[in-house]
Amino acid sequence: MNTIQITGTAFLGADFVPETVDITISNGIIADISPARTKSESLILPAFFNAHTHIGDTVALDTRIDRPLAELVAPPDGLKHQILRETPEDRLISAMRSSMQYIRASGTTGFADFREGGRDGVSALSAAKISGIMPLIFGRDGGELLPDAAGFGLSSAHRRDEEREAADAARKAGKLVAVHAGEGGIKDIEPAFELQPDVIIHATHFRPEDIRRAADEDIAVVLCPRSNWLLGVTDSAKKPPVRELLDAGCRVFLGTDNVMFVSPDMLSECAFLMTAYKTTPEETLRMATGGFSLAGMTSGIEIGKPANLFVMEDAGLLSWSRSPLTTALTRLGRGAVTQVISP
């Protein structure tokens, strides 16, 4: 039997209650949680799920934002698509592995990726996979129907027949449908809803009626606030309407978007969200972990659940903290992550 024990202030259960405990993990399952017998300066958090990435963009890391968003990222001829077409497959695979290593080292053990390049693009991400992290791959241009794909990922909806046909085929195959909508404006929001997606990405310019519809139809909404600000599609804490989405009962997840512009670091995303949008630490951690549900998984540190968590060192700050979870999410950063454990 493979058994390990970790000690620290853990954020337990669905409410992330902080308790100083010993956690015993046997064969990848949390077998016991008991009051700690020794003092520890460690913090133990449930692992993050980055609910929206484009890690193929690693080959264009830190490209200058010197033109409108569509010219940078829109298919088929946005700058990133030109770069991807020019990149040899072995270099693309190596770049995606580098980003996956970075993602895992930041306390994230799963991510949902929009994979360009059709069938070859999905296959490249499958080939790039490393141990200890689960990619949920949303393909397009035929890639969405491959066995390794979780579903269809559309850049934006335009009421085209091929979009509807691809979404219908994905659903018929038992796969998910995800679409960007409301990132730079409102014109693609209604066409996105017409596709009956499981997931809408961005929702930056959602109106009250869009929020209500997402809640009523149980469509998950993935927010990427750092990307929205950096790319100039918002300069307001009202867009995306984070508080309104949460208060309406929407399932809201957190993602980091294009690796070419924004680091896939969920701790940085959490800190930004809490600063700009005033979410509570519990709301923030729920958004940062909830994306596991897209893969049919549950998250949380509880007896009987798979051990899917990470450990941070508190640098002596916990003794002074009146909100340990706030301290973990906003002060320590990815450099404080010392251990990542995943199923």
Can you tell me the distance from the alpha carbon of 122 to that of 138, in angstroms, rounded to the nearest whole number? 8
Q: CATH code at 330?
A: 2.30.40.10
> Do 120 and 89 form a contact (C-beta atoms < 8 A)?
yes
- pLDDT for the residue 81: 84
Verify that 89 and 124 share a domain, yes or no: yes
Q: Does residue 75 register a pLDDT over 90? A: no
* pLDDT value of residue 1: 65
Residue 24: pLDDT over 70 = yes
Interval 29-73: pLDDT, tens? 999 999 999 888 999 999 999 999 999 999 999 888 888 878 888
Same domain, 131 and 275: yes
Domains contained in the chain, number: 2
**Do 22 and 133 sit in the same domain of this protein?**
no
* pLDDT of residue 209 exceeding 70: yes
Give the helix/strand (H/E) hosting 128. Answer: helix 118-128
- Longest CA pairwise span in the chain (Å): 63
Q: How many CB atoms lie within 10 A of CB 218?
A: 10
Q: Dump pLDDT digits (tens) for 98-113.
A: 999 999 999 999 999 9
Secondary structure in 3-state letters for 75-87? CCCCHHHHHHHHC
The phi and psi torsions of 37 (rounded to 5 degrees) equal -95, -15
Whether residue 39 is found in the same domain as residue 139: no
Same domain, 255 and 290: yes
**Co-location of 74 and 61 in the same domain:** yes
By C-alpha distance, which of 234, 243, 236, 233 is closest to 221? 243
**CA 306 – CA 334 distance, rounded (Å):** 23
CATH of the domain at 268: 3.20.20.140
Mean per-residue pLDDT, 330-336: 95
92 plus 18 within the same structural domain: no
Round to whole Å and give the CA distance between 237 and 22. 39
Do 155 and 17 sit in the same domain of this protein? no
Q: Are residues 241 and 318 in the same domain?
A: no
Mean pLDDT, rounded, for 206-231: 97
Radius of gyration of the chain (CA): 20
Domain range for 183: 48-295
Same domain, yes or no: 324 and 223: no
Write out pLDDT tens, residues 220-247: 999 999 999 999 999 999 999 999 999 9
Q: What is the mean pLDDT of residues 132-154?
A: 97
- Mean pLDDT, residues 192-218 taken together: 98
Please indicate, yes or no, whether residues 21 and 159 belong to a single structural domain of this protein: no
Average pLDDT, the chain: 95
Which residues, 6+ apart, have CB-to-CB distance to 248 below 8 Å? 211, 212, 214, 215
Do 216 and 330 fall within a single domain?
A: no
Q: 242-263, pLDDT tens digit by residue?
A: 999 999 999 999 999 999 999 9
